[in-house]
Chains A and B, each alone.
Chain A
Amino acid sequence: MDPARRRSVVDVALQEAGVVSVEGAAARAKVLDRLRLGDAAFRQMTRAAAVGVLLLLSGVIVSLVAGSLPAFRTFGFGFLVSERWNPVTDNFGALPAIYGTVLTSAIAMLIAVPVGLMIAFFLTELCPPWLRRPIGIAIELLAGVPSIIYGIWGLFIFAPFLQGTLQPFLIGTLGHVPGIAALFSGPPYGIGMLTAGLILAIMVLPFVTSISRDVFEAVPPVLKEAAYGVGCTTWEVVRYVVLPYARVGVIGGVMLGLGRALGETMAVTFVIGNAHRISASLLAPGTTISATIANEFTEAVGDLYTSSLIALGLILFVITFIVLAVARYMLMRIERRIG
């Protein structure tokens, strides 16, 4: 329609009053049209970007599935349970890498969760108020330190230290205890599963601590005051009031940390030893999914080798996706309760 004829009531009124000419009204309609167009365009742009985020994730899944098809076609389901990893004969299996990923993450969480919870306990209940903020900030800053820093520290300082002290000690003591002797057998290499697990523990500690602290702080003070009022000790308040109330959030935080630990690459790659075998001993070198990909991908020759590595990536992605989805679900539940 001709813009000059699309006049609003206001334009007509103004024109009757002799304020705006016909040209003025036409110009005004033109401007309004442009604004309306710009408005719609901006809305569609934001919508496209939001859909783009969705497409990114689907793209990741599709490309990983497509890339891993040759491996799964060749090895079938056996890829998941096979222990072989031989680039020379083009024979690959994911089990050692999956085992290493799960074991190192388990060691990390076994240490980081209790320590992180205890630090959160300290920060929310025991810490003098003037110290609370500096420690909180320090922990959050440390959560941002790149993982490669932990890796290089682990390789040059922590591994030699473990080799000289903790590992001989473990072999000498726990290595003779029936039942768990196998876990601590073999020579002290320094690098290996246990070292990788410990490094991961240090790395996820800030995550677990800061989320637990946030969740602990969200417990209504009335509940704690009531518990103190009936004579509970500080520990009893935390154990029987704060922890049960914050349970869902703490589990969410722990799962989030676990997601990080499972997918962590650089902190582990330096100290894991990259050995494709499953050893009973925690001190032996092993490998994880991410370390295998980081170490071997650029050197992989042949489609099957590359495809097997991509298949490993797909497995890692599926595992972390599940863990993170559960974590988000749990954290969402507690957010709803607070908000």
Chain B
Amino acid sequence: MTARYTARHRTNVVATALALAATTVGLGWLALILGSLLWQGFSGLSLRVFTEMTPPPGSSGGLLNPIVGSLILTVLAVAIGTPVGILAGTYLAEYGRHDRLSSVVRFINDILLSAPSIVVGLFIYEIMVAPMGHFSGWAGGVALAMLVIPVVVRTTEDMLTLVPNALREAATSIGLPRSLTITRICYRAARAGMVTGVLLAVARISGETAPLLFTSLNNQFWSPNLNAPMASLPVVIFQFALSPYKDWQSLAWTGALIITLAVLALSITARALVPSGKQS
């Protein structure tokens, strides 16, 4: 009996130690990545990064055009994706909470949420780039919008579902039509959560590279023209990191740092917007 007890105790100690080790190693590893990112990225960070264009190989320069390109593409994607996402999420939560269409859409949306983004790039290439005959900022924006939509649909639906029914009943009882109940009452009640959804979507797309590789491509020069290929931070990082030039590699690290800081800032803001009791 004692031997058995000792064995059980030993197993428990070993398992506990393993769990501790796993946590230390897992978190340590991730900390290591962020640490080396900070180290490498900050060493190349200077004002020139934000004021100069991407340089030709062998000379120094900045990341102004890809930063601006990324901003334009993100704004475009949010402008296209958010309305569609909010409307679809509204249908799921308000009109068809239990109908067949909604359950299918919900399922498909979940699939789109984690579908490989490179496939989205291929799709947009097929329907936009190939017919238009050239790569363009429009195509990149639409590709990113396809990644925005599922995130916004999901959070909009979740947040609208949290709005108490009493609010809707009260609005209806004073004669407010349904559309106004939704836009004036429910949206207002769920606003923080819906903004969070958009912020999360922006965080998601700001580092996406794969769907941009063959939609907006890249551009060495200053070009805010949406009909032409457009530079973006992730694609420039990809190109520069794989190049043999030291200057380019160092710029790639700096770009990676900028993206990571932006994404972390966005996720933290999004988290702060939603009261901690609501999530989890």
A149–B101 CA distance with the chains assembled, in angstroms: 38
* Smallest CB-CB A-B distances: 5 pairs: A146-B207, A263-B116, A49-B87, A118-B22, A42-B179
Q: CB-CB contacts of B81-113 with A at 8 A, as 1s and 0s?
A: 001110110111011100001101101111110
Give the chain B neighbours of A66 by CB distance below 8 A: 126
Give the chain B neighbours of A135 by CB distance below 8 A: 23, 27
Q: Which residues in B have some Cβ–Cβ distance to A below 8 Å?
A: 8-9, 11-12, 15-16, 18-23, 25-27, 29-30, 33-34, 36-37, 40, 83-85, 87-88, 90-92, 94-96, 101-102, 104-105, 107-112, 114-120, 122-123, 125-127, 146, 149-150, 153, 177-180, 182-183, 200, 203-204, 206-210, 213-214, 217, 234, 237-238, 241-242, 249, 252-253, 256, 259-260, 263-264, 267-268, 271, 280
A100 part of interface (Cβ distance < 8 Å): no
A115–B23 CA distance with the chains assembled, in angstroms: 8
- A39 and B178: CB pair below 8 A? yes
Considering residues B12, B19, B217, B263, which has the most beta carbons from chain A within 10 angstroms of its beta carbon? B19
A235 part of interface (Cβ distance < 8 Å): yes
- A233 and B12: CB pair below 8 A? yes
Give the chain B neighbours of A145 by CB distance below 8 A: 33-34, 207, 260, 263-264
A133–B200 CA distance with the chains assembled, in angstroms: 20
- Of A11-19, A221-229, A320-328, the one with at least 4 CB within 8 A of chain B: A320-328
Name the distance in Å between A63's Cβ and chain B's nearest Cβ: 4
Q: Which residues in A have some Cβ–Cβ distance to B below 8 Å?
A: 35-36, 38-39, 41-43, 45-54, 56-57, 59-60, 63-64, 66-67, 114-116, 118-119, 121-123, 126-127, 135, 137-142, 144-153, 155-157, 202, 205-206, 209, 214, 233-236, 238-239, 256, 259-260, 262-266, 269-270, 290, 293-294, 297-298, 309-310, 313, 316-317, 320-321, 324-325, 328
Q: Could you say which of B16, B88, B96, B238 contacts A148, with CB atoms under 8 Å apart?
A: B238
**Pairs A–B under 8 Å by Cβ, sample size 26:** A36-B177, A39-B177, A50-B88, A52-B88, A53-B109, A53-B153, A54-B104, A59-B123, A137-B271, A138-B30, A144-B204, A145-B263, A146-B207, A146-B209, A146-B234, A148-B237, A149-B256, A156-B241, A236-B8, A270-B242, A298-B214, A298-B217, A310-B126, A313-B118, A320-B116, A321-B111
Q: Could you say which of A47, A214, A265, A317 contacts B209, with CB atoms under 8 Å apart?
A: A265
- B259 and A57: CB pair below 8 A? no
- B206 and A146: CB pair below 8 A? yes
Give the number of residue pairs across the A-B interface with Cβ within 8 Å. 261
Q: Could you say which of A35, A138, A310 contacts B177, with CB atoms under 8 Å apart?
A: A35
